[in-house]
Amino acid sequence: MSRIGKKPVAVPAGVTAKVDGQAVAVKGSKGELSFVVPEDVIVKFEDNAIKVDPRVETKRARAMWGMSRSMIANLVTGVTEGFSKKLDITGVGYKAAVVGKNLQLSLGYSHDVTYAIPAGVTIVTPKPTEISITGSDKRQVGQVAAEIRAYRGPEPYKGKGVRYSDEFIFRKEGKKK
């Protein structure tokens, strides 16, 4: 049994939620998001909360039950507060800057890396070695952060590269004489 799926998702004031068959649409101050729930799960809107229940008692239905509830909770959180990720850049000469609708990254390559900022995501560089990514869709914010980090992931010897601000890099000693 899913323990997280049992708990209904409360819809706060100022947020409108609409359940139409398997589609859930949520609208708030930060935008509008929607999610199509898998067929293994039943979704109901009652008592100012969205309730999720499995259609049948199978392993897949139980898995989709908890996942669907989490996705709906992320929609509600996204349209009220939004999500953010912070990236740190470590290395001599490594820096980032927002130029128009692009993120310009200098990561030690012979050329600068240009990343086109997708719609629905805001990227800010408060310092040249810090990138802040915000948006209402948790999946999209995480995907953008992962794509930027993939250009030059942190290496274990000197810690150079792009890393999440809360990420721990296991450092290696290096070679000895």
pTM (predicted TM-score): 0.87
* Residue 97 pLDDT class (50, 70, 90 cuts): very high
What is the four-CA torsion angle of 10, 12, 13, 19, rounded to 10 degrees? -60
Q: Which residues pair with 97 in a beta bridge?
A: 104
Report the candidate in 102, 83, 78, 93 with the shortest Cα–Cα distance to residue 17.
Answer: 78
Domain architecture of the chain: domains with CATH: 3-80 (3.90.930.12), 83-164 (3.90.930.12)
pLDDT tens per residue across span 20-59: 989 999 999 988 999 999 999 999 998 899 999 999 989 9
Beta carbons within 10 angstroms of residue 58's beta carbon: 11
